[in-house]
Amino acid sequence: MGMVRTGTWRGGSIVRTVPAVTLSSGVGLDKSKLVRLAKRVIGVFLAVIGLIFLLVGYQLVLSQTWDKATGIVQSCVAHSTHTGSTGTGHVSQDCKVTWGDDAGNHTATVIFGNKPVTNGQTQVVRVHGTQAVLPTPAWEGYVGLGAGVLLVVGGVFLVMRSRRRPDSAQVNPAQMDPA
């Protein structure tokens, strides 16, 4: 493993020598470049996860403005999901729900999760056009929005900080010792 000399100030004794990591292509990367690259990757990852939280939170908050309706469960399809080495899992139900309004009767598929429902049972749903969802507490949407904002801001902060060089690496070429 070689060493990389990053600079010397005139009139001072600031010399930083760091080990160089050589990739198969022969390009040398010092530790600070690897750290900056890792910060960028983590920052982008956090920002993307934050955008997903923002979208889900926005959809949950938006659904709070939809009209409430009472629908009748028509038919359900159960899905069993097994997780972990013990084979434990849960059952999720997707049910067709029919409701009526001034525009007529509508049918949509609503995901009930592990909530037990049976055919013919009435359920309160939030509806918008031909879409229907189960009502959710408003705080869930606000928590999703808040977490999304924090993750996006944190990710952008990491990416912006990774673009800065350490102070000792910002050497003016005119002030460098030619030796």
- DSSP letters, 66-106, are SEEEEEEEEEEEEEEEE-STT--EEEEEEEEEEEEETTEEE
In 23-66, beta strands by DSSP E: 28-30
Q: Return the SS3 of 117.
A: coil
Q: Which helix (H) or strand (E) holds 114?
A: none
Are 104 and 76 in the same domain? yes
Domain that holds residue 78: 67-134
Are 11 and 41 in the same domain? yes
Are 77 and 51 in the same domain? no
The predicted structure's pLDDT at residue 143: 95
Are 88 and 45 in the same domain? no
Are 148 and 165 in the same domain? yes
Most confident stretch, 23-32, 62-71, 142-151, 169-178: 142-151
Quickly state the pLDDT bin for 10 (edges 50, 70, 90).
Answer: low
pLDDT higher than threshold 50 for residue 1: no
Are 129 and 73 in the same domain? yes
Rounded to an integer, the average pLDDT of 34-48 is: 91
First and final CA of the chain: distance in angstroms?
23
Q: How many domains does the chain have?
A: 2
User: Chain-centre distance of CA 101, in angstroms?
Assistant: 37
Are 73 and 45 in the same domain? no
Are 72 and 40 in the same domain? no
Q: How many CB atoms lie within 10 A of CB 125?
A: 21
The predicted structure's pLDDT at residue 129: 85
The predicted structure's pLDDT at residue 18: 52
Are 127 and 150 in the same domain? no
Structure-derived torsion over alpha carbons of residues 47, 53, 56, 60, reported in degrees to the nearest 10: -140
Closest CA to 89 of 80, 76, 98, 97: 80
Residue 64 CA: distances (Å) to CA of 52, 99, 101, 108: 19, 18, 18, 18
The predicted structure's pLDDT at residue 102: 82
pTM (global) more than 0.85: no
Locate 156 and state its tokens. 């952008």
pLDDT higher than threshold 90 for residue 55: yes
Instruction: For residue range 61-103, list pLDDT tens digits in order.
Output: 999 999 999 999 998 888 877 766 666 777 788 889 999 888 8
Structure-derived torsion over alpha carbons of residues 38, 42, 48, 53, reported in degrees to the nearest 10: 180
Are 42 and 81 in the same domain? no
Are 112 and 72 in the same domain? yes
The predicted structure's pLDDT at residue 34: 85
pLDDT higher than threshold 50 for residue 177: yes
Are 97 and 38 in the same domain? no
The predicted structure's pLDDT at residue 19: 54
